[in-house]
Amino acid sequence: MLLGLELLALHFSEPLAYYLIIKGKKLQEVEAEGYVPVSIVIPTYNEGDKIRDKLLNVMKSYPLEYAEIILVDSSTDNTVEVAKSLGIPIKIVKERERRGKIFAVKEGIRNASNDIVVITDADALWDDPLIDAIKYLKGEIGAVSCIKRSNRGAENAYRNFYNVIRLSESAIYSTPIFHGELTAFRKSLLSADEIPNAGADDSSIATLIALKGYRAICTKVRAFEYSPKGLDYFSWKTRRGLHLVRHFIRFLPKVMRSKNNKYKAIFLEEFYLHLINPWFLALGVVLTAIYLPKLFLFLLLALLITLVIPQSRELVKAWIPNQFFLIMAQFKALRGEFLMWKKESK
């Protein structure tokens, strides 16, 4: 019964091979041609303790005279008052009731006066100037996003691995996964009504832009976000996983029908990594434990060793739970879209 072992080998070697093959690809540099007017949409739900730092960060990242800031708010706390207290021009769209981030995002896009729309979460901070991302928004590039870092070690190791993959996919053509910390696109290419009422607004925008024949890329602009602690970390990871699972299933038929083979290949690889590869780990573990118990113990020992080596420790610590979260996410995804979620403590 070598099947278990083969599944385990495939589980680890496939992503590693993908990583090593695409890793060297570099995005073609673009010169910034100067500031252009942008609309910055911030959806907010009870961000009273984060919104001040968020707005200060936005102001530091892009000149205010070129930025129209739009807050689409459904808070029950003092988010709007705190935002107003900064004394800068902000367009506030107050929602009658809370309906979920996606409705706020679409309302924000409808209210945007500029062609370049930047969507950004209130609990995320940009490390780099916004211009370094939006300077790419011309010609064949229709949407841009960021790479990410977090305050949590294991989450960061996982991020670093995926940041390389996002940037390399972007250099090859496009990436189907975007981040809500910074999602910018040209409104003339995509209207709010075309965006599905889904949890992963960010990745929907990326994929819709790619399906229209434009590129959707992640840039080296980095965004910081706090990861929730304790049990909230679990619900946060499975919720995000669930959004991605539904994203991949929703767009699979459309991507398969498209004639863009480069995009198809990248999308299918990510579909595999998020929906199929996690099962190979679970099945591989079960089959090996049953049929090859001695070898299984040996593999456990090898795993323990990777947890001691500093170079692999954080990635392994993040990788294994993440596969578990992705499997949980598939079960959760069966219950439908999840548009409103509890605010995790960060």
Query: What is the binding site for ligand GDD (CB under 6 A)?
Result: 43-45, 47, 72-74, 95, 98, 100-101, 104, 121-123, 179-181, 199-202, 236, 240, 243, 340, 343
SS3 of residue 117 by DSSP? strand
Of 85, 306, 117, 332, nearest to 205 by C-alpha is: 117
121 binds Mn ion (CB under 5 A): yes
What is d(CA 126, CA 147) in angstroms, rounded to the nearest whole number?
A: 10
What is d(CA 177, CA 210) in angstroms, rounded to the nearest whole number?
A: 11
Sign of CA dihedral 285, 288, 291, 297: negative
Of 15 and 43, which has the nearer Cβ to ligand GDD?
43
Q: How far is the CB of 73 from ligand GDD (least distance, A)?
A: 6
Which listed range, 27-35, 114-122, 301-309, 329-337, lies at the site for Mn ion (CB under 5 A)? 114-122
Of 149 and 240, which has the nearer Cβ to ligand GDD?
240
Of 145 and 288, which has the nearer Cβ to Mn ion?
145
Which listed range, 119-127, 162-170, 201-209, 262-270, lies at the site for Mn ion (CB under 5 A)? 119-127
Of 201 and 269, which has the nearer Cβ to ligand GDD?
201
Cα 74 to Cα 23, 80, 89, 174, 193, distances in angstroms:
41, 10, 19, 33, 20
202 binds Mn ion (CB under 5 A): no
Of 138 and 343, which has the nearer Cβ to ligand GDD?
343
Q: Which H helix or E strand runs over 218?
A: strand 215-225
Q: How far is the CB of 299 from ligand GDD (least distance, A)?
A: 32
What is the biggest distance separating any 2 CA atoms in the chain, rounded to whole angstroms?
A: 69
47 binds Mn ion (CB under 5 A): no
SS3 of residue 221 by DSSP? strand
Closest-approach residue to ligand GDD (CB): 180
